[in-house]
Amino acid sequence: MFRTRCKICGVALKLNDTDAREGFISGLISFGPNAVDGYIDEAPIEGYVVHFVDGCYVPLGDALATVPKKEGVPTECCSNDAYTVNVSTHIPMGAAGIIILPLTETGPLTVGEIIELVDYSFNNTQELVIVGSSSTVTASRPSWSLVALVPFVAVAALLTS
């Protein structure tokens, strides 16, 4: 069995799409520093790379962002909001998620933290379009801001029943 020894320690803020256009995303992602065998260790790390990935978790195209390593990040425990990146872009065809990869002097590692790709947008038929998911939920345009997938699923269940 394979074991991942080196990856970010956690994600505090997964992308909450604030771009109302279908096929575009915008928002913040906050994540923690690299951990080696469960212990915070950024010694081999130069920064972090954020990419779209396909359904097999293979990075697509150029990086969405490169985040340089910070000095003074706590090493006692995972500070899963030590790094923040603002993503604002068009979603490429075939994208199923976003991955955060630690970056070393030889390039990005091949294993990282996957974030579900959700495009919160309404098309002209008032259907919520969710990219990277097989679901389309019919509902009228809400007057409130959608802030998380979990509350939306609860509301969508009420609207469709």
**Residues 23-80 pLDDT 10s:** 999 999 999 999 988 899 999 899 999 999 999 989 999 999 999 999 999 889 999 9
pLDDT, one tens digit per residue, over 80-117 is 999 999 999 999 999 999 999 999 999 998 888 999 88
Dihedral, 6, 7, 9, 12 alpha carbons, nearest 10: 180
Q: What radius of gyration, in Å, describes the C-alpha atoms of the chain? A: 17
Q: Does residue 68 sit in helix, strand or coil?
A: strand
pLDDT at 5: 77
Identify which has the larger pLDDT, 18 or 150.
18
Q: Which domains does the chain have, with CATH numbers?
A: 6-118 (2.60.40)
Residue 24's CB is within 10 A of a number of other CB atoms, namely 15
pLDDT at 51: 95
Confidence of residue 130 (pLDDT cuts 50, 70, 90): low
pLDDT at 118: 85
Model confidence, pTM: 0.73
Identify which has the larger pLDDT, 110 or 152.
110
Long-range contacts of the stretch 70-75 (C-beta < 8 A, 24+): 73/33, 73/40, 73/42, 74/40, 75/33, 75/39, 75/40, 75/41
